[in-house]
Structure 1
């Protein structure tokens, strides 16, 4: 996928014969036998075809597949979220709250972003506890090589847990064999500006381990947009490709640190008077006795760190193509506020107590989410006679602690209203077969097995002698079949059926009464389409239907003489339509 394709692209650049990665060692080759291989685009080298055609439709696919090219991303402003490129897709709606630094909401075929699968270089990005997705935590659009869009589950080879509305698979640019340095500076309304730069090393270690890399640093800043919510975002990204033996090693790291005020954050006059952390929702920045509340204003903003890194080795030995990608994600941040009300807290001493603020003061709150996530994606492709076979396995371990901490105005920790660690392990092996019985016809069949196990602890409940340790596990066999028939040159028909499943989120454990029988949401996705490429006239027509089962919603049930909230599976829903 990304690694070998990147080495191939680098090796084909006509710098000098000695600077070609393939020429130096004579071993590395491109690997394009895997489902959903990445677009081959280097930094600073957008192919002319990507400029001429911002969307491309795969002709021989057994499922609907649209590539959003690098040309589309070059039409965006540098500070735009990459999700703005989805605006041109049929049945896709991108809603911005006013600025890309706040993130966008995405809807496709009637499904929200928590039911759409988002990946970066093949790594699933949706939150493991709620399956939502935050576009403002993604890499900048200036570093995107392209996006492959699948409007439904489509294939057993797509990893992830939220593909009902489709899969948005985005890939980062590959390093170029040329050296260049590109400063980036911009400015706009409402005090928004950015500064940074991109440097590409060009080839080095040519006779040992031919390598090329890029490094990107950037800061986005705004005083406020519409609601005066100021924000600062710092980004640091690195990617390298090195040819080693029969394959290539890609190393990637992205660090995206954000700090932003809430909406109605501050006017320029308020910031000048009270400092950058002042927030309009803090009411009066002074206490009732007239003294300034100097500790209070500093907690009225959000801060979040998003770090993701991976190492991937991909190559080819004989007829066997292989890929192994290990990744690690760290997220840490909080939303903050204050209250004058007494809180029930689990104190550092281990007891649960009612804690009130001191006279004429408030309790400061930090709602922390601390996440450690790591996983591995292994793929193997090998022809078994006339059948092309792809085997794969995705493992993901996610450990998130949700902790609502309270402090006094001297910044002394008093306790937490909840401390809830959630550990989720996901196992997803798959196998896919592709077969062409005749030249005009391509058949595909695959199956994926999903197993997810989630452990949840509620330390506040345990400290009160109440049930606070829960476990839930889910498993599902998910088949996929498809066909593509070439009617004539440049015109193809395709049909696809794929099942998908989505285990309950961790709110299963804290929403009302615990329901141990809560089952995963499921969907059968049907696609029938036509793809054509008749010179200047290119396009795709897709008829889709998603039969949604076991939809999870919150409902009220009567327990004795009391009404209790419970999460339950609520039957079926159908999403269907046409896209063109």
Structure 2
């Protein structure tokens, strides 16, 4: 048991990131060693920031506020760096999403340009589930994802299905917090950062908008948005409804899919200080998820090789498909009174129902043949049915220089999972090729049948104290309590009857100290302890659930943000000590979990945005990241040693456009320096025109986008290994794609 506008200036598009790394600490010396690295970094930032920025600006005027620096032209699509930060963050606005991300994109594509982020989309932007999304080297399941402030994820391993819940048209903003948050930050894996998805809000004016997109890979997208506008008879209640449908063949052969999303949000004012919000989303998704290809297959069939259309082969697309039905709904009551008291409660539920099948070995190393026929095609059929109910309650009270925040998050998840060996040539008939489990009829064709639950309770308390007008001290304490149960006649991995109950808990202290050195310049420091209960697979052991330790971290970071009209600059340094890191390895589509031991993540990041004038703004971000395991000193898998992003944005006179590039440095796909991956980059472009309504005609937006403009085909990720011979499987950059969009506002 473990236990900040100048009248004619665009707000900057993005920023710049740089990450450097030294240091190798342990518990009693962690703070001291972290300070040896972080404090010089902060001192350097304090002197470098003004030195770099002043010649560009040519003036010493202070920024007027913390959130919207603007530069000569129009508003650019990324918020400026906050002057009241608790941690490094990238805030991507609606304008950014619509300008840069294709209409098919999922959230992993939207955040791809952010500092220290690696995103892999082998089938094209949003055309299949993200193959990998890492933040500072932390993989999915090791960071938080929230929707309108509500954490969500899979029961078994805390991961996420990037295409399964929300269409990009329903997202109003996305932020990437590269840090553990404060005591009030809730979620299962907060130590790796948080990707926050925020839904669109209803407009005060009624209207109808329709849109359509045609793109590469025979892709088609259509959408409609209905706005009620504020209704005076209902105390200015407003409703927005969004419906979208996407179809595509995908970049990879045989990897097409369809996606239908519905989203609605009602905002009902109950008084001058109180609002009731009801929101809901549902999705139907069908896709053929690619499993990767060997180097020999890529060399023989090309970089777009994945699945075939031959019923006699295990990689026939008809055998390798999955369907999702998901929903997410919440009811939120928010009160923000003049008495300095704020209350917010969100009662919610979400569900994911996934049914899928696959050939036993889609890469051809295992011959055909089943217990029912020597030439029959073997495969597997499986399902995963998840339902969660939860409540997030937050309260805040301010007394002069002191603000107290109290809250609690509670959630109950149920998850039924099963997988069967089948004969695909015979419509999925059971294929009894496994040793039978005593007392379980038909178990010779059963890989797993299990029901599991996850209950989470996280109460917290946080104090924000301003002893001086320029100084804020923000300590917090959160208790993370998690209970896993599993009841399985045929347990995954062991295939033995299992009835396990395991409890995990930890008190997680945190503190943020922030100092305003001037109205335009802030420095801050942060320390926080992190915790993550073991994945469900780690209960698959005959030695008992209690022997598996949770993942534990200590996060230390310092930073500085600086703003002037036309420029925003930030720098931060971090050291993260990780105990009991859980590694993963995928063989034949099945992911196993193992204890990778301790690890140290460290780096220095810097961000900047510059307004050039005449409607143009520049951005860039660069990072040197280092993540090493303690056992061998080898790099942690899927942790790039550097990233770099840059671009040019234009928006003026109804025209808008962007030219962006993201480069990702070298990394390894597996432990012990195995499966080395070379650097790669992706150049994207977008141009559009907005025609305002007039002369009886509606408003029109026309846009042309190109992804991977240079048509790069670098191998960018390890997908796993084959079943029979453990041959590495790889993903390749999706080829160039072009997207044309027209939208009309009535």
Paired residues of 1:110 and 1:575 also in contact (CA < 8 A): no
CA distance in 2, matches of 1:286, 1:550: 41
Q: Provide structure 2 residue ranges, at least 5 long, that are not aligned to the other structure.
A: 1-66, 293-305, 362-369, 431-441, 586-591, 608-746
Are residue 481 (structure 1) and residue 511 (structure 2) matched?
yes
The answer for the alignment partner of 2:228 in structure 1 is: 201
Q: 2:502 aligns with which of 472, 480, 483?
A: 472
Paired residues of 1:250 and 1:312 also in contact (CA < 8 A): yes
- Tell me whether 126-135 or 321-330 shows the greater mean CA deviation: 126-135
Paired residues of 1:426 and 1:453 also in contact (CA < 8 A): yes
Paired residues of 2:86 and 2:524 also in contact (CA < 8 A): yes
CA distance in 2, matches of 1:233, 1:438: 53
Cα shift at 1:411 = 6.2
Paired residues of 2:322 and 2:356 also in contact (CA < 8 A): yes
Cα gap change, 1:280 to 1:213, in 2 (>3 Å): same
Q: Provide structure 1 residue ranges, at least 5 long, that are not aligned to the other structure.
A: 1-38, 41-47, 266-278, 288-295, 341-354, 556-564
CA distance in 1, matches of 2:495, 2:375: 34
CA distance in 2, matches of 1:60, 1:435: 13
Are residue 55 (structure 1) and residue 79 (structure 2) matched?
yes
The answer for the alignment partner of 2:486 in structure 1 is: 456
CA distance in 2, matches of 1:154, 1:393: 15
Paired residues of 2:387 and 2:414 also in contact (CA < 8 A): yes
Paired residues of 1:144 and 1:172 also in contact (CA < 8 A): yes
Q: 1:382 aligns with which of 389, 397, 405?
A: 397
The answer for the alignment partner of 2:384 in structure 1 is: 369
Are residue 416 (structure 1) and residue 431 (structure 2) matched?
no
The answer for the alignment partner of 1:160 in structure 2 is: 187
Are residue 315 (structure 1) and residue 335 (structure 2) matched?
yes
Other structure's SS at 1:83 match: helix
Are residue 211 (structure 1) and residue 244 (structure 2) matched?
no
Higher relative contact order (Cα pairs below 8 Å, separated by 6+ residues) = 2
Cα gap change, 1:324 to 1:286, in 2 (>3 Å): closer
Paired residues of 1:432 and 1:444 also in contact (CA < 8 A): yes
Cα shift at 1:53 = 5.0
Matches within 5 A, 1:477-516: 477-510=507-540, 514=544, 516=546
CA distance in 1, matches of 2:309, 2:254: 14
1:1-21 C-alpha deviation (Å, 9 max, x unpaired) = xxxxxxxxxxxxxxxxxxxxx
Are residue 103 (structure 1) and residue 123 (structure 2) matched?
no
Matches within 5 A, 1:515-534: 516-534=546-564
**TM-score, with length taken from structure 2:** 0.61
Matches within 5 A, 1:329-408: 329-337=350-358, 356-357=371-372, 361=376, 365-405=380-420
CA distance in 2, matches of 1:579, 1:170: 24
The answer for the alignment partner of 1:546 in structure 2 is: 576
Paired residues of 1:511 and 1:567 also in contact (CA < 8 A): no
Cα shift at 1:91 = 1.6
CA distance in 2, matches of 1:64, 1:417: 44
Are residue 69 (structure 1) and residue 93 (structure 2) matched?
yes
Q: 1:578 aligns with which of 586, 605, 621?
A: 605
Cα gap change, 1:468 to 1:226, in 2 (>3 Å): closer
Matches within 5 A, 1:71-220: 71-75=95-99, 76-99=101-124, 100-104=126-130, 105-204=132-231, 206-220=232-246
1:251-274 C-alpha deviation (Å, 9 max, x unpaired) = 111112111124499xxxxxxxxx
Paired residues of 2:123 and 2:255 also in contact (CA < 8 A): no
Cα shift at 1:233 = 0.8
The answer for the alignment partner of 1:3 in structure 2 is: none
The aligned length equals 489
CA distance in 1, matches of 2:139, 2:448: 28
1:10-47 C-alpha deviation (Å, 9 max, x unpaired) = xxxxxxxxxxxxxxxxxxxxxxxxxxxxx99xxxxxxx
Cα gap change, 1:365 to 1:375, in 2 (>3 Å): same
CA distance in 2, matches of 1:312, 1:120: 13
Cα shift at 1:58 = 1.1
CA distance in 2, matches of 1:579, 1:523: 23
CA distance in 1, matches of 2:74, 2:387: 37
Other structure's SS at 2:155 match: coil
Cα shift at 1:440 = 1.1
Matches within 5 A, 1:2-21: none
Cα shift at 1:410 = 5.9
Are residue 432 (structure 1) and residue 462 (structure 2) matched?
yes
CA distance in 2, matches of 1:480, 1:146: 27
The answer for the alignment partner of 2:639 in structure 1 is: none
The answer for the alignment partner of 1:237 in structure 2 is: 263
CA distance in 1, matches of 2:593, 2:340: 53
Cα gap change, 1:397 to 1:227, in 2 (>3 Å): same
Cα gap change, 1:469 to 1:199, in 2 (>3 Å): same
